[in-house]
Amino acid sequence: MGTHRRPKPPSRARIATLGIAAGAVSLLPTQSQAAPEPSMDEVRKQVAKLYEEAEAPTEEYNGIREQQQELQDEVDSAQDRLARKQQEVNELREKAGPLAAEQYRTGGIDPTVQLFLSSDPDDYLEKAEVLGRTGDRQAAALRALQGKQRELTQDRADAAKRLEALKEARAKAQEKKDEVQAKLTKARKLLNSLTAEQRAKVAAAQEHEDAAAGTSDATASYNGPAGGRAKTAIEFAYAQLGKPYEWGSTGPNSFDCSGLVGAAWRSAGVSLPRTVKQMYDAGRKVSKADLQPGDIIYWYNDSQHNGLYIGDGKVIHAPRTGKNIEIAQLDSMPFYAASRP
């Protein structure tokens, strides 16, 4: 029978180490010692900040999506051209085929030998003349084929570049989409960390804040001084009051900020670029003192948020996720600039 070795008792140093480790564990923060949960007001402010931060990448996403559509159109056109060129090359090959075959059958024998072997020299000379013309036609057909083949090769290279650019645009759009979604998801998690009663209080506090800022999403009709196309654009915006903000949307059931402005002016027959930045760059700048109903207002900077001035110091805009299209005071956000379509 084998002998059983008794386990070696722990050394004093080992015991001391274990004791220190146990003490360290006991000093780690327990659930009751965790950092305090943010207050309802802090949650509301964090959520508002996240929604605000989501606007810039939303506008970048809109611009990339517009570029992506242009690239897709270019790719479709390039593929159509390729198909036509390929058909032309195929037809030229078919034409050149019989000519090449004829030249092969007769071109392998020296002309002097052909004349010597011919029983009828006149007949040979007549055939030689025909073959000479055939050779000329073959050479012209081959030149045409080579030219079309070069064009086809170049078009294929161009189409490949456009396809690569389209892939890059798709990847960038997805990156911006993920960035927006991450901020919105974080905001939702913050809200979901509150109880139903706390969420109701947050909503009430937001409504109180909106009322103090003079905002309203109540359905109304425009009776201001605007005329012509500006009036048409404002009336369209009024008809959207109460519809939800949705990032990347241009209607008809929801809008983001630039989506609403673009749709309003489009209803008046004026085509605007897609994004806040593009609208700012394309518009005729006007000072705050010279504002007229229908002018586009930009807050914070030239690429984040915009809305439609309706007169009397008020605007219509699509605010942010979780809110509806509303009428607000012009100075409810930091005014940056204005432009006139």
Q: Which are the catalytic amino acids?
A: 257, 305, 317
Query: Among positive and negative, which fits the CA dihedral 315, 317, 322, 323?
Result: positive
In angstroms and rounded to an integer, the radius of gyration of the C-alpha atoms of the chain is: 38
The residues, any chain, with a CB within 8 Å of residue 156's CB and separated by 6 or more, are 82
HSE-up (13 A, CA, CB side) for residue 84: 8
Please give the biggest Cα pair distance in the chain: 124
Host H or E run for residue 179? helix 121-192
The neighbouring-strand residues paired with 298 are 306, 337
CA distances from 130 to 103, 108, 125, 134, 136 (A): 11, 16, 9, 6, 10
Query: Of 243, 242, 224, whose CA–CA distance to 233 is shortest?
Result: 224
β-bridge partners, 308:
296, 316
Kind of pairing, strands 305-311 and 284-286?
unpaired
Return the amino acid letter for 33.
Q
Can you spell out the DSSP letters for 83-149? HHHHHHHHHHHHHHHHHHHHHHHHTTS-HHHHHHH-S-HHHHHHHHHHHHHHHHHHHHHHHHHHHHH
